[in-house]
Every structure is written in structure tokens, then in C-alpha cells.
Chains A and B, each alone.
Chain A
């Protein structure tokens, strides 16, 4: 019984320390690397927005973007679209890692990614596609 109590209190303290740590994550932190990545993403957004509207590209559950309907895009633009998506995802992955690094906790990357995934989904405009647990959903 005594052991169970010890294990339980250990687990509780771990949980508490974890949640305390997460509360401390500064998702708005700014470093030159982060502002460079954000700048690069901002300048790409104008190119991606028409693809969000047409449904060719949607926000995936893992905080990235994905081609969900290539047929909505003329053949001549498909590789450009693939490259845009690859470059955007490279930046997004780097952004999550940099924010975790900036917080001095690289291991927080998955939580930061999840927070951003939710943010992207919330910020998506009407008509854009967002991936949830069941699949692609049009907002």
C-alpha cells in the first residue's frame, strides 16, 4: 500500500511538473531564425491562398499542409504546387523545432506542433479544408 502511494505521488508530481512546464512554453517567442521562417511563410502565403480556396491544399492534422485534390490544379502548375507544399512544410517543421529550441525545451516540439495544428484549423477561412480525426472537412 505504501508503495502504491509512493508511485502514485511520483506520477502526480511528474504530471504536475509536465503541465507546469507546458504552461511556461512561450509560443510567441521570437528569434532571428523564427522571424526568418515566419517571413518566408508570409511571403509564400499569397501563392498558397488560392490553393486553399480551391480545395487543392488543406491543413493536415500534424500542423502541416497537404495536397488533397491535385485534380483541382492544371497539370502545368502541379509540380509548382508540390514544391510550394514541400517548402511550406519544411518551414513549418523548422518553425515548431525553433520555437521549442527557443523555449530551451526541444522535447516540447510535439505539443507546440499540436497547438499550431489547432490554430491553423481555427484560423482557416470558410471554404478551406481542414483534416480532423475523421478526415478532410470543409469549413
Chain B
């Protein structure tokens, strides 16, 4: 260590200095200049016009500095300047740090300090400031009053994920020592500028924090804190921060009212953007109380009042949602939720009331009844658990009879008559994959439809998948053909769709056979239906009918009809009820007048077939005949 004194200037050079505690020592290091100024300047200021302190290197826990130079020259501008190379432990390279005060005011004894036109600059940091610090004792006790203004400040980390621009803020701290600890109160007001703290973006609009408490070497006690977010909410907090453990020993947060319409876009949406709640319109109020112990969430109470939420992609909506959701790490809590209406994947939901019990990361309910139109989806023996951020659940489901005309209209399908009911003995959901054990039974078109082996992957994701085996028995062809505007057919239909696979709700593979049911019943087919069936197999056959004597008849008798399609790699391989030269029989006639409809193409592109079906059913026009 070399020390050299020059008169009239004073210069202290330090070779190496090691600090053990980081923050307090940083303050000490910067404060050293002040100390020297305070104690020595009354005598030295006469002799010395500048005071310079230099250190080759300073090392502390978490950071190090080199080529440190502090110059105090009260008569000059800047009156105080600090220049250094600095490196924070995790940083890959050295950066330069510059701090200055344009004007300084140093007290002769204890009293008011001030730094005007202050500026701190470093890599990606520019922090203009003014501050005054009053250290005059109050009633004989050490005390501090700090007033700091930051104007037009900006900072950013290297990745730009924590950054601020044009920041205007004011901090005031008052503290006095009493019985070995400090009593403090502080205020922070943020009047302008913008802040991005991933994932939150906030603009300074008069947000204010007021807090008070005590502080000693062991703990920072927060007696009360109030964070005002104008127009959104007021957050109240209290707690105790343990200095040696560096965590909240206890923390209690209370938000009595949160306006969702304002809070969702600014505060909640960025947090949940990648989830199903990421693109939702919300309105209503929520209230939240939460408790942390030893850094861990211990309990919370979330209350929703008249919340409306609508998914922007129309996958779900809930209206007038009211809920009480308590949670406690130590004991099970009852959860209640009700809503006045809504929809889930376009299935309309009527007013429902749900109750469940939540036990740490698991939820159970003997019965959840979701009212749908005039019926209900009743989920029973529900058990769900959250493990490693993924949901796992299983339940039994029962769909009580629903009015099909109302449901089909709501789903945007052709209006269907009848009722639908289903029963699923077991549904399980494992981290995005939904599977069912047992059969879903539907009663439709006076017949029955059963769905086996139904499974889904990511039903609310970007590319949902579904697989199932479907069995249809004795569907009334009269109902069916009227529903889909296909041209009248009288009779009954059986169908088997094996290995059905949907991606993004579009079929990619199946093995389907549709054919007239066995048994005795009237079998009639209209000329229009004949033309439509022929059109499905491609133009040609229909033209023959148009030209033949058969066009004098409106309907014909048939013995059996059937068509099969095996879809694979976007091609449908077709077949009928019997083989025929160069083709296959789709409708086999019998009696008088009888007609036989043939198919000739065995390989049809799926998209071509879909557009043919669409031409026949949707547009309800006659097939194009060349």
C-alpha cells in the first residue's frame, strides 16, 4: 500500500482492497469520499482544492472493480466524480462505471448532504438523479431523511428482458434509531416512463408504494405496505423479511378488489399467455388474499364476482361466474363455483353450480353437474391432481338425454331430430391425453350409435387429435336423408367406422362400412337419391339414368345398399355390397321398378370425395352431369 500526499491537492492511492460484504461495503466505499470530505475537509479544504482517491482493484462478494478513481473538487463541476471498471460476478466482461454529482453540498458537521445534477452511467444504464440526505439527529437519536428523484432514467439487462425508459420516480425514506433498531417509513411514487420486467409491461401513471416498519440486523419488518395501481387495484401487504436467510419469513398479501377488465390485459394476460386463458376477454372482479411462510405459499383465498370470460377463438365462454376458491397447504378446503351460462367447444352450458374439495394439489368431487340445454353432463367420482405442472384426472361421465334439435342447431350442424344420451364408465386425462374406457352410447335417428375407444390429445391445443371406433345400428334412413338433404331413402342403415382418426377435427384415417340393416322393413330409394349416390362415385352413372326409361319413376325398390371407404394417405378406397364386372354394386335393386347403382372408381381422393358430398348435401342442387 502506497500513500502519497501532495499539497495543495490530496491524493490517496490504494493498491488493493478486499471487501467482505457486498452491499454494505459498496455503500461504505462510495461513502468513504464523503467521510473524508466531512471529517477532513474543514481543515484540508483550505489547503487542498481537490481530493483524489485511487484504487487499483477492489474485490467483494458478487462484484469487483479496478482502476477506481474518485475525485472530489467542491469548487469544480462536477464536484464529485467516480470512474471505475466494474464486473459483476456473472457478467462475461468488464464494463465501465461513471458516477458524478454536478454540485455537492457537504455539511460542516452532521446535517444535510445533497447531490444535485447527479448521474450514474454504465453499460446500458443512464440514471440522472438528485438527492438530499439529512442526518441531523432527532431528539438526540440518530436519524436519516432521504429524498431521491430519478429523472429520465433508463436501464436494460443484456437480453433486454428487464428494462426501463424515460423513468421518472421519487423515493422518500425516513428512519430513526430507537432501542437498537431503526423505525422507518418509505414512499415511492412512479410518475412517468415505461418499464418492461418480463413478462410485464407497465407505464408510470402515478403508481405509488407506501410502507413502514422496523429494521435491524436480523429482520426487515414490514408493518404495512400499500401499493396503489391507479384504476386497477390497491395491494396491501405486511410481513417479515429475514436478513440472514434472504427470504420472506412471513408475508401476507391482500387485494380486496381487482377490476379484471383492466387488470387482465396489463397484469394477468402476460402471465398466462401460453395457456388456455391466454387470449380471453374478461370482465368482473376478483379478490385475493395470500399467505407465505418461510418463502413458501401457505394459503390463499381467491374470490370471483360476476366474472365474464370469452375465449377469442370461441373455444369456451363463461358468464356471471362466481367462485370461492380457498386453498391451504395444511388442510382440505371446499371450493364453490357457479355460472349463469356459457359454452364449451360450442356446446351450450346452462346455469350450473359446482362444488369440490381441494387438498393441496388434488381436487375431488362426488358429483359435478354441468347443465347443458335441457339435460346435463354429470361427472361423478371426480379426482384430479396437478403433478409437475401437468394435470391428471379421472372421472365417470353421464349425459342425461339432450334435445337433439337444440343441440345440433347450437353446434351449427344440420337440424337433427331425437334425443342424445351417453354414459362413459371411465374417463382419464394424463397430461394432455384424454382416454375413455367403455362405450359412449347415443340414441339418434331412431337407432343407436356407440363410440368405443374414444381418445383425444390436446383437445384445446393448436392441433387436437381424436381417435375412436364408431358403431351405428338401425338408423332411420328417412330421418337421415332428410337431415342431410340427400334425397329420400326409406329403410334402415348400419355403419361401422373403425380406427377413426381426426387431426384438427379433420378425418385422416378410418375404415368405414355403411350398409342397409338386416331385417324386414320397407326399402325405397328416390330418383334424386340415386342420382346423388351415383354422383358420389363420379359422373357417368347418373347420366345413364337421366337418359333411360327409369327417369319416368320417382322411386325404386332395393334389396340392399352399402358403400365402404377405407381412408388412408388422403385416398379413399371404395367398395359396395357386391362385386360386379369393372366395378361394385352400391344399390342392388329388387321388384318392380328396380334399379341397380354401380360404382366404378375404387380409388377416390378424399378431398375430391368431400367436395362431392358437399355439393350433394350442402348446396342441395343436382349433380353436374357431363
Q: Interface residues, chain A, CB within 8 Å of chain B? A: 30-33, 35-37, 40, 67, 69-71, 73, 75-76, 78-79, 82-83, 86-87, 90-91, 94, 98
Q: A79 touching B160 by the CB < 8 A rule? A: no
- Given known contacts A40-B462, A75-B165, A83 and B160 CB-to-CB distance under 8 angstroms: no
- Given known contacts A79-B198, A94-B462, A71 and B160 CB-to-CB distance under 8 angstroms: yes
- Given known contacts A31-B503, A70-B160, A37 and B462 CB-to-CB distance under 8 angstroms: yes
Chain B stretch 497-526: residues in CB contact (< 8 A) with chain A? 502-508
When C-beta atoms are compared, the residue in chain B nearest to A69 turns out to be B160
- A79 CB contacts on chain B under 8 angstroms: 196, 198-201, 270, 273
Q: A94 vs B504: C-alpha distance in the bound complex, in angstroms?
A: 13
Q: A75 touching B195 by the CB < 8 A rule? A: yes
**Chain A min CB distance to B271 (Å):** 10
B252 at the interface (CB under 8 A from A): no
Q: A75 touching B194 by the CB < 8 A rule? A: yes
**Chain A min CB distance to B462 (Å):** 6
Q: A75 vs B465: C-alpha distance in the bound complex, in angstroms?
A: 38
B3 at the interface (CB under 8 A from A): no
Q: A109 vs B570: C-alpha distance in the bound complex, in angstroms?
A: 22
Q: A32 touching B506 by the CB < 8 A rule? A: yes
Q: B462 touching A90 by the CB < 8 A rule? A: yes
Q: B462 touching A70 by the CB < 8 A rule? A: no
B132 at the interface (CB under 8 A from A): no
- Given known contacts A36-B503, A70-B159, A83 and B274 CB-to-CB distance under 8 angstroms: yes
Q: B159 touching A30 by the CB < 8 A rule? A: no
> When the two chains form the complex, which single residue of A36, A70, A82, A87 contacts B463, counting CB atoms closer than 8 Å?
A36
- Given known contacts A70-B159, A71-B156, A37 and B201 CB-to-CB distance under 8 angstroms: no
- Given known contacts A70-B161, A75-B195, A76-B194, A33 and B201 CB-to-CB distance under 8 angstroms: no
Q: A86 vs B278: C-alpha distance in the bound complex, in angstroms?
A: 13
- A31 CB contacts on chain B under 8 angstroms: 503, 508
Q: A91 vs B199: C-alpha distance in the bound complex, in angstroms?
A: 21
**Chain B min CB distance to A33 (Å):** 4
Other 16 A-B pairs with CB < 8 A, given A37-B462, A79-B198 = A31-B503, A32-B505, A32-B507, A32-B508, A36-B462, A40-B462, A75-B165, A75-B194, A75-B196, A76-B201, A78-B196, A79-B201, A79-B270, A79-B273, A82-B199, A98-B463
- B273 CB contacts on chain A under 8 angstroms: 79, 83
Q: A78 touching B160 by the CB < 8 A rule? A: yes
Chain B stretch 158-202: residues in CB contact (< 8 A) with chain A? 159-161, 163-165, 194-196, 198-201
- B196 CB contacts on chain A under 8 angstroms: 75-76, 78-79
Q: B463 touching A86 by the CB < 8 A rule? A: no
- B163 CB contacts on chain A under 8 angstroms: 70-71, 75, 78
Q: A36 vs B346: C-alpha distance in the bound complex, in angstroms?
A: 20
- B161 CB contacts on chain A under 8 angstroms: 70, 78
Q: A30 touching B570 by the CB < 8 A rule? A: yes
Q: Interface residues, chain B, CB within 8 Å of chain A? A: 156, 159-161, 163-165, 194-196, 198-201, 270, 273-274, 462-463, 465, 502-508, 570
Q: A82 vs B159: C-alpha distance in the bound complex, in angstroms?
A: 12
> Which of B195, B502, B503, B505 has the most A CB atoms < 10 Å from its CB?
B503
Q: A71 vs B159: C-alpha distance in the bound complex, in angstroms?
A: 8
CB-CB nearest 4 A-B residue pairs: A70-B160, A32-B506, A33-B503, A36-B504
> When the two chains form the complex, which single residue of B198, B199, B463 contacts A33, counting CB atoms closer than 8 Å?
B463
Q: A87 vs B198: C-alpha distance in the bound complex, in angstroms?
A: 16
- A83 CB contacts on chain B under 8 angstroms: 273-274
- A75 CB contacts on chain B under 8 angstroms: 163-165, 194-196, 201
When C-beta atoms are compared, the residue in chain A nearest to B196 turns out to be A75
When C-beta atoms are compared, the residue in chain A nearest to B462 turns out to be A40
When C-beta atoms are compared, the residue in chain B nearest to A36 turns out to be B504
Q: B504 touching A32 by the CB < 8 A rule? A: yes
- B570 CB contacts on chain A under 8 angstroms: 30
- A70 CB contacts on chain B under 8 angstroms: 159-161, 163
Q: A32 vs B164: C-alpha distance in the bound complex, in angstroms?
A: 44
- A87 CB contacts on chain B under 8 angstroms: 274
- A78 CB contacts on chain B under 8 angstroms: 160-161, 163, 196, 198, 201
- B463 CB contacts on chain A under 8 angstroms: 33, 36-37, 94, 98
Q: A126 vs B258: C-alpha distance in the bound complex, in angstroms?
A: 48
Q: A33 touching B504 by the CB < 8 A rule? A: yes
**Chain A min CB distance to B67 (Å):** 27
When C-beta atoms are compared, the residue in chain B nearest to A83 turns out to be B273
Q: A40 vs B270: C-alpha distance in the bound complex, in angstroms?
A: 21
Q: List 8 A-B contacts (CB under 8 A).
A: A31-B508, A32-B505, A32-B506, A32-B507, A36-B462, A70-B161, A71-B160, A90-B462
- B201 CB contacts on chain A under 8 angstroms: 75-76, 78-79
**Chain A min CB distance to B438 (Å):** 27
- B164 CB contacts on chain A under 8 angstroms: 75
- A33 CB contacts on chain B under 8 angstroms: 463, 465, 503-504, 508
Q: B198 touching A82 by the CB < 8 A rule? A: yes
**Chain B min CB distance to A58 (Å):** 14
Q: A67 vs B506: C-alpha distance in the bound complex, in angstroms?
A: 34
Q: A75 vs B198: C-alpha distance in the bound complex, in angstroms?
A: 10
**Chain B min CB distance to A74 (Å):** 8
Q: A90 vs B270: C-alpha distance in the bound complex, in angstroms?
A: 17
Q: B462 touching A91 by the CB < 8 A rule? A: yes
Q: A70 vs B273: C-alpha distance in the bound complex, in angstroms?
A: 19
Q: A37 vs B195: C-alpha distance in the bound complex, in angstroms?
A: 34
**Chain A min CB distance to B105 (Å):** 35
Q: A37 vs B458: C-alpha distance in the bound complex, in angstroms?
A: 14
**Chain B min CB distance to A16 (Å):** 26
**Chain A min CB distance to B256 (Å):** 28
> Which of B161, B463, B504, B570 has the most A CB atoms < 10 Å from its CB?
B463
Q: A35 vs B505: C-alpha distance in the bound complex, in angstroms?
A: 12
Q: A31 vs B508: C-alpha distance in the bound complex, in angstroms?
A: 7
**Chain B min CB distance to A101 (Å):** 10
When C-beta atoms are compared, the residue in chain B nearest to A77 turns out to be B201
Q: A30 vs B606: C-alpha distance in the bound complex, in angstroms?
A: 13
Q: A73 vs B196: C-alpha distance in the bound complex, in angstroms?
A: 12
- B462 CB contacts on chain A under 8 angstroms: 36-37, 40, 90-91, 94
- B502 CB contacts on chain A under 8 angstroms: 32
Q: A83 vs B272: C-alpha distance in the bound complex, in angstroms?
A: 11
When C-beta atoms are compared, the residue in chain A nearest to B194 turns out to be A75
Q: A90 vs B164: C-alpha distance in the bound complex, in angstroms?
A: 29
- B505 CB contacts on chain A under 8 angstroms: 32
Q: A33 vs B503: C-alpha distance in the bound complex, in angstroms?
A: 5
- A73 CB contacts on chain B under 8 angstroms: 160
When C-beta atoms are compared, the residue in chain A nearest to B166 turns out to be A75
When C-beta atoms are compared, the residue in chain B nearest to A30 turns out to be B570
- A94 CB contacts on chain B under 8 angstroms: 462-463
Q: B503 touching A86 by the CB < 8 A rule? A: no
When C-beta atoms are compared, the residue in chain B nearest to A71 turns out to be B160
> Which of B156, B194, B274, B504 has the most A CB atoms < 10 Å from its CB?
B504
